[in-house]
Structure 1
């Protein structure tokens, strides 16, 4: 027992020596050096903590982002001395498995001011520091630590480069900004000179867990004010102040603070996708818009409306003057509608509204109005009544052609996506004048075939000669127009629920019945026919006032199909990517015909489902049937003016934007080429290393 006690005592005696030897022998993957800048009497002592990561390794900013942890500094100073806040250079963004990390992948330095008491000498003062930090690669993370001890002035290699490291620290803005919370978005207004270039801005927030770090940030400029819009984290952290670093995108940045206040709406988009240089040549965008308008003439969503124009052109074939006037009136209607929609869209976005192209079909009132109009046109086609601007039994009238152009352009907007996505996305980023040119090019493309028919007689001679067949054709066209009315009734259900749809249909039926009765009285020469027309307006207006009471505020959500997709949120996307699995995200709307065709042809297929299950693909669907600011912001960040938008995330890679017209086997092929990867250790948040090993 005595011998055993002696052995144990010997082991305890050598244990501290062994531990110190292990610490001394360990080589950090991020080497560190501590030194002091030249000392000025009466001024704080500027300390420089210089780091050099090994190749493939990185350190972290004070707020590491979704993963990792920030550096911890423990100073041992002479009595009366204090240490200021650590100052960091502008960090870099590193996304691993869908998680955003704020890192430094090259040499960097953290500066700390040591403040001596008044009258105390700054030389010959002993300074000690215990520093702990996390060193990571894309696959592993290692907690590291190092002890420093020096006597001021404590010159080192880091000291000699103090001016260089000081220049890398972002300078503070001369004025504080303001911030406000709008829904799920943090909006920060910063005073920034308009002449300052912002190639790729990004805001790094000091406050932990306040924002979704990997969320898409949007920047708008109003003169010398920059407004940043950043998605909030799911669990909102209350704060009275916001601070951080605004990275300008070229390695430089500025430090800011912001207090609660008013943040103005609107402004011109800046940054990636925010300038004309990023959208491509304007002439190419104009050609794309013109071609998109031409192709709209054969889209099913526009065909029932264009049948009106086909009949009027066939009727006008006997008169060149009438054909030209008809073509010009139709073109004027189309251009007016597209320019008005474009101007309204730009105005709403400038006012801070989250809207995109075809926004009018996200408004229940607009859909109800279209439903009533579609029912009226169906009844007119079926011969139940004659309305002069919709009549085809007598000479052509420019009012009818103009009205047809307005209606065709209004209904055609949801079909523009597949053929002019780049042009419409650019229209939301370009200056207002250039954006309006794109909207005009779209309208001209839609009207061009009928404009050419009006001014080129040989083309008109290719049309069938007028005859009794026109009345038969008109009644046949009542079928697709009636189907359009049914589709609008279904959309009313998707937007506002079953009772809202029933009320909308009842309103349309009552309005058409009263309209038919009033018009028949007028056509029979009744004295008080115009009073009967007034009788149509009163019940329709009253019914419209009751409809909002039937509206269900709870969104219907995307219809569940063969693919078991989760609703899209940026948090769900980040979580899925963090699991190292392939992710497929698609954005759709019930009023988007192209979206529904793609879903039937390429997405909602058993072969696609089986390929997704085999590859472990996580499907997410964003339903944009109703207005959704979060989805609108995400679409804008990806240069999309509307739906459809299809994104494929291979494990560990950024998003691949897929074509807006999907082929049947495209998704199954992508799933077959992707395999889930193991979760990256860097995506975990290891606990800080203990003070002693």
Structure 2
């Protein structure tokens, strides 16, 4: 009996160890983490192995250098689950011990991969993920091999981000090397290996180090001479014997003024490299905590301002700006009032844009991979915008007037005039501009997602400033106000004309709603717009008869809320997504990371475009340059595979890809050539640019 009780106690004590996701070894703490504790069937789940060496110890990178060993993982997964991809390592550091160069991690490092539960698994079913991890941990005096078996007891669910582990996965992905769009080149000159890496922001680079992924490329311990040669970073060191052949891959770690080190995944082809260039910045005087003197941030802010400025010509913003500008001419306001209204308008724009940017940053910090205009991936938001734009269009068309007793959709403040009206007009313009991502915005918003919070918010504020800049200039420059046409009957006709682009915007939003929520969802949205239109027609008739109304504000708000909430926000119906004409003409295949990796492994050229139905720039390119017959013929002749990533509804794989490429939203166009090179194209495409792509 005693032996039985002892055996039972030992068994019970061993049970938790069978499902442990954390193990404390003598010199390392190791953990198994996942982005979600309830992964969705058929959707990739990011998982990570976190290694935390104790003080004075270190673990190793994929290529450990002159000594050491990389971490190994052997997975045990439920039946039908494909083996995870190879582990992705964060950017390593260097450590020289006894004349040997080591590529190491002296603090917590998370190795990342992904696993996809089979599509047929039922919600609530168990999905345990187990891994046997073996690693080498060393101090300056000794090395100790350690191992642990970890199990993460997951349950199939909706794929919601885990509140605790999700942010850790986000930080782990941010620590991975970023893909470099430009193709690097290398050459061996005598006994020296020379690497040339084209990249932006060279004037800010203070230090750099190249970590080759393979052996026999360089002598690891030899110092690397780094200079700026034209638009490229030039790294020179001793070549290994007998030296590399073919493509060389690895990670380039770069340290810039006032920023933490970042890494770039490098693929270099044999080729011509420049001679030694200018020395790197010394860093003297570059610890200005405000960042005001950093040209890198200044350029990002300039891109944000220019991107916001361009948004003013979008069909949903231009009518609002035009009427607000003409209101100054109609009101014959003095200079002081004009400046006050301009500042209030700017404050409304900047506040809304910065608030939306802050929401993006907060959601990403909480583990959600979202980007600019993320709210447009919810059909209810599209439904609300449809009703809002319809109401604005009907108001411009003269169906009703907005007064303090109307209370419809919050536009009473927007059209009431004065400082308060200008503030709400700016807020309205910023909100309806979110479907657009124009030129100059992509790089600026992408940079905002990797900058420190204060600098990132300044980029979003810069975008709002650019959007508000035309009206700000009108308010502060009397000469511009004097050039505005004098008030007259023509303003009534112009107002009616300006309703046309708003009606077209409403039509486009109805189409997007159909793409997201199917025919039923679009019908529900149109029914809400019809009810709202009938209500506003009745309201206009009451206004024409001179009646004063107090209740319509509440009634119209109730109409908007009821019609919007009736639209389903769940999974889009099967077959709801319809490929664009350009995608069909080009024979586009659906984007998945695995499919892209497979095509690149086969050496096939790929044109990848990330798009969304609510993205105006995307649709212009797809109806224009991408739809040209010459482009389709050129791609076919060169054997270029076209791959489409549709971000109309939230897609974690696309969100992850955008995050890895430091992009906040769509469109994004990338060409992968047959030699492994990668080049990002501008956001406004031309036929000549597409046909010039080499197969």
Partner of 2:166: 265
After TM superposition, give the deviation of residue 406 of structure 1 in Å. 1.3
Q: Answer yes or no: is the 8 Å Cα contact 1:378–1:481 preserved in 2.
A: yes
2:492 alignment counterpart? 471
Cα distance in 2 between the residues matched to 1:556 and 1:177 = 40
Residue 463 of structure 1: CA displacement?
1.4
Say if 2:379 and 2:567, in contact at 8 Å, map to a contact too: no
CA distance in 2, matches of 1:199, 1:397: 64
Q: How do residues 340-489 of structure 1 correspond to structure 2 at under 5 angstroms?
A: 340-388=355-403, 396-489=417-510
**Whole-angstrom CA distance in 2 between matches of 1:358 and 1:217:** 29
Following TM superposition, by how much is the alpha carbon of 1:253 offset from its aligned partner in structure 2, in angstroms? Answer: 13
Measure, in 1, the Cα distance between the counterparts of 2:485 and 2:413. Answer: 15
Aligned 8 A contact 2:349 2:467 in 1: yes
Cα distance change on mapping 1:172 and 1:662 into 2, 3 Å = farther
Shift of 1:316: 4.2
Deviation, 1:238, is 6.0
Q: Which of 558, 563, 570 in structure 2 is aligned with 1:543?
A: 563
Asked if 1:211 is matched to 2:84, the reply is yes
Matched residue, 1:231: 114
Over residues 602-654 of structure 1, what are the superposed CA-to-partner deviations in whole Å (9 max), with x where a residue is unaligned? 22221111122222211111001111111010111112111111111111313
2:142 equivalent to 1:243: no
The 10-residue stretch of structure 1 (299-308 or 585-594) with the greater mean CA deviation from structure 2: 299-308
Shifted more, 268-277 versus 610-619: the winner is 268-277
1:185 and 2:39 aligned: no
How far off its partner does 1:313 sit? 3.3
Gaps of 5+ in 1: 1-170, 675-693
Corresponding residue to 1:531 among 521, 526, 551: 551
Tell me the TM-score normalized by structure 2: 0.64
Taking the aligned partners of 2:349 and 2:632, their CA distance within structure 1 comes to 42
Instruction: Tell whether the 8 Å contact from 2:414 to 2:422 is kept in structure 1 after alignment.
Output: no
State the aligned residue count. Answer: 495
- Give the CA deviation at 1:189: 5.6
Return the match for 1:512 from 511, 533, 538.
533
Task: Work out whether residues 216 and 637 of structure 1, in 8 Å CA contact, stay in contact via their aligned partners in 2.
Answer: no
For residues 93-122 of structure 1, what are the alpha-carbon distances to aligned partners after superposition, in whole Å with 9 as ceiling and x for unaligned? xxxxxxxxxxxxxxxxxxxxxxxxxxxxxx
Superposed counterparts of 1:535-574, under 5 Å:
535-548=555-568, 552-554=572-574, 556-559=577-580, 560-574=583-597
Distance 1:520 1:197 in 2: 77
Shift of 1:217: 8.5
**Which residue among 619, 641, 646 is the counterpart of 2:664?**
641
Q: Distance in 2 between matches of 1:300 and 1:253?
A: 65
Residue ranges of structure 2 left out of the alignment (5+ in a row): 1-24, 64-69, 76-81, 93-105, 120-126, 138-142, 154-161, 179-253, 264-294, 404-409
Measured after TM superposition, the shift of residue 516 of structure 1 is: 3.8
The equivalent residue for 2:198 is: none
Task: Confirm or deny: 8 A CA contact 2:605 2:671 kept in the other structure.
Answer: yes
1:567-612 CA distance string (max 9 Å, x none): 0001111222233221111111111111122223322221111122
Aligned ranges for residues 115-154 of structure 1 at < 5 Å?
Answer: none
Cα distance between partner residues in 2 of 1:648 and 1:392: 47
Does the 8 A contact of 2:402 with 2:415 survive in 1?
no
Whole-Å Cα distance in 2 between the matches of residues 534 and 489 of structure 1?
25
Aligned-pair RMSD on alpha carbons?
Answer: 3.9
Residues 186-335 of structure 1 aligned to structure 2 (within 5 Å): 186-188=46-48, 190=50, 192=52, 206-207=73-74, 210-213=83-86, 229-232=112-115, 239-241=129-131, 243=133, 257=148, 258-260=150-152, 264-266=165-167, 268=171, 269-273=174-178, 281-335=296-350
Q: Following the alignment from structure 2 to structure 1, what is the Cα–Cα distance between the partners of residues 54 and 347?
A: 39
Larger Rg: 1
**Deviation of the 1:319 alpha carbon:** 2.1
SS of the aligned residue for 2:32 comes to strand
Whose RCO is larger (CA < 8 A, sep 6+)? 1
Structure 2: distance between partners of 1:293 and 1:324: 20
**Residue aligning to 2:288:** none
CA drift of 1:272 comes to 3.4
How far has the Cα of 1:505 moved from its partner? 0.9
Worse-matched range after superposition: 233-242 or 661-670: 233-242
Counterpart-to-counterpart distance in 2, 1:446 and 1:199: 48
Change in 2 beyond 3 A, CA 1:567/1:461? same
Whether contact under 8 Å (2:90, 2:177) holds in the other structure is no
Q: What secondary structure sits across from 2:447 in the alignment?
A: helix
Helix, strand or coil at the partner of 2:450? coil
